[in-house]
């Protein structure tokens, strides 16, 4: 089995621009990427590829192999899958709450495909036992799309239901979950800039 993390640092996480500037967003995604790599390694996954449109931010990467592909996310991943000769675990880089235990459970599925849905209809993790017979289509309601791609390919699916693995960090309110549930460098970075505030019965993000 191999893991692949699609990653683009340049101008990353535009949806966080209301609360972080470009430099901060780029620093933050790098910290999240490193946490995802650590979780994969702690789960015992030795072969980790980062699939990126450029070397930007990856010049000193030593813990994973960097593969360059300037195509968009879907085309780059589908080219990668075409050549795959072993099961592939696709893990997004914005999952600082994904633990080694989640990864072990996802990859021990009995089914052909295991999908971790993300908030709002996305796909946070996709385990493909037979990757060469599968094509991804991220964006939009990619969770539903990935279920139906599996069905059309005759592949059985397990849906891995987890709040923490399902929390990708896309929008300012997701930083609340990181401050509540996270640990490590990505959480520390955000906790230097924001604190939790309770207002109208909800925990919200507030600047220092
Ligand atoms: N290889 C590759 N990875 C990408 C590309 N665009 C995004 N990614 C990665 O794909 C994953 C999901 O991306 P998004 O959640 O949309 O992240 P983003 O594009 O930085 O965020 P937004 O600008 O807010 O949409 C993350 O791991 C990104 O680093 C791309 O063009 N190529
Ligand atoms: C890539 C995309 O991420 P989202 O926009 O849902 O964070 C998806 O999961 O399909």
Position 199 pLDDT exceeds 90: no
Give me ligand 2 centre to Cα 183, in Å. Answer: 23
Percent with pLDDT over 90 in the chain: 97
For the stretch 145-167, pLDDT in tens is 999 999 999 999 999 999 999 99
Give me ligand 1 centre to Cα 7, in Å. Answer: 6
> Quick check: ipTM above 0.95?
yes
Helices (H), 43-184: 73-82, 100-107, 142-152, 172-181
- Residue bearing the CA closest to ligand 2, atom 8: 122
CA pseudo-torsion sign 190, 193, 198, 204 = negative
Q: Measured between alpha carbons, how far is residue 144 from residues 92, 96, 102, 109, 115 in Å?
A: 17, 23, 21, 19, 10
Ligand 2, atom nearest to 139 Cα? 10
- CATH superfamily label, 2-168: Spore Coat Polysaccharide Biosynthesis Protein SpsA; Chain A (3.90.550.10)
For the stretch 104-142, pLDDT in tens is 999 999 999 999 999 999 999 999 999 988 999 999 999
Q: Is residue 52 within 8 Å of residue 66, measured between CB atoms?
A: yes
Give me ligand 2 centre to Cα 138, in Å. Answer: 6
Q: Is residue 156 within 8 Å of residue 150, measured between CB atoms?
A: yes
Residue 123 Cβ < 6 Å to ligand 1: no
Looking at residue 166, what is its pLDDT? Answer: 98
How far apart are the two ends of the chain, measured CA to CA in Å?
44
Could you tell me the residue ranges of all domains in the chain?
A: 2-168
């Amino acid at each position: 089995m191999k893991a692949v993390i699609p990653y683009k640092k340049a101008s990353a996480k535009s949806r966080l621009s209301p609360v972080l500037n470009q430099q901060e967003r780029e620093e933050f995604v790098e910290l999240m990427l490193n946490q995802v790599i650590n979780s994969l390694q702690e789960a015992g996954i030795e072969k980790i590829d980062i699939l990126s449109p450029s070397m930007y931010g990856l010049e000193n990467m030593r813990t994973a192999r960097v593969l360059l592909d300037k195509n968009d996310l879907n085309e780059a991943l589908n080219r990668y899958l075409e050549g795959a000769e072993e099961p592939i675990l696709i893990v997004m880089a914005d999952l600082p709450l994904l633990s080694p235990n989640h990864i072990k459970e996802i990859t021990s599925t009995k089914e052909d495909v295991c999908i971790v849905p993300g908030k709002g209809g996305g796909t946070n993790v996709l385990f493909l036992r037979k990757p060469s017979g599968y094509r991804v289509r991220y964006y939009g309601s990619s969770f539903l799309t990935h279920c139906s791609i599996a069905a059309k390919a005759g592949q059985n699916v397990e849906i891995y239901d987890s709040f923490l693995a399902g929390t990708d960090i896309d929008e300012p309110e997701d930083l609340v979950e990181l401050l509540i549930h996270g640990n490590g460098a990505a959480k520390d970075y955000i906790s230097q800039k924001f604190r939790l505030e309770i207002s109208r019965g909800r925990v919200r993000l507030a600047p220092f």
